[in-house]
A = this chain, B = another copy of it.
């Protein structure tokens, strides 16, 4: 279920061809600091080495790799952004080290294998965009057996949250339905056509849009109302596409804090730069997109809201089944399912809440 290649190019890649969008990523200080520190505090991984930057965009990671002492950097970029990357490399006088190659990393041929693969491939909730597939392909073809991955590890997290957004979305949804009923009346009265048979598909369409699509949010840490769980652990040096095509996890989360409302779940990720077992990092660096008061990222968190929300209190336990699969129509989009059983501290067990969401 991969979309037509031309369609994928038109839809997925088009935003990356804008400097405006690259600038947004380049202005994310948490992201920039993590990659910058991972490189410059681990220069031994770069000095005299060959590097492949998968999806170089503006060229930033390739330039840093060169500045850290790489002998040669192959900087591959699918979009026309490659022209800007080349200009930037030249303006920083690194054209002898950094070679910018326009093309999909799946299609290119390098003259040698590399010591390091560096890439900023993470999408919303880590796997949206499915760009890690391309990194895996590049790794299997072009990384030396002794090579290291930047980043080396990635994790997906899920936690129960409270949020005021759910009520708002519910109201929007109900508003859209009210509007539909006036529309039906008008169309019947003025134009003699009864459209009420379309009420069901219309309400399903709107339900998906308002209530079943995950939301981008930068949550305050206080909105997390129970223990967070790792639902996926990825070793970037060994993971296969099959390993990441689906994510399934069952976990327990304990509610903390006095009486509060369980409004849904949130998902985020972190990645680590640890080098490899044989050639570990001197300084391990972490990049986290967890809810944070001061260190928000452009990824934020994905929020999955239930309605109605449920009253919970300290000591209640959530028994959660989580699954994430790729959308059948577009492998870069995701579908998420939650089943959540509440075991109250009194011992009472509430019937499981089941919900399906789309990450679009």
A interface residues, Cβ below 8 angstroms from B: 3-4, 6-7, 9-11, 18-20, 23, 26-27, 29, 32, 36, 58, 60, 63-64, 67, 84, 87-88, 90-92, 180, 183, 186-187, 190-198, 201-202, 205-206, 209
Contacts and interface: CB of A to CB of B under 8 A. Distances in A.
A205 B18 contact: yes
21 contacts: A4-B7, A4-B10, A6-B6, A7-B9, A7-B10, A10-B11, A18-B205, A20-B205, A23-B202, A26-B195, A27-B183, A29-B190, A36-B191, A58-B195, A58-B198, A64-B191, A67-B192, A84-B201, A88-B198, A90-B197, A91-B194
Contact of A193 (B7, B92, B194, B201): B92
A85 to B, nearest CB: 10
Contacts of A26: 183, 187, 195
B195 A88 contact: yes
Contacts of A60: 191, 193
A193 B92 CA distance: 7
- Report which residue of A11, A84, A87, A195 has the largest number of chain B beta carbons within 10 angstroms of its beta carbon: A195
Given A183-B27, A187-B26, A205-B20, A198 B4 contact: no
Contacts of A64: 191-193
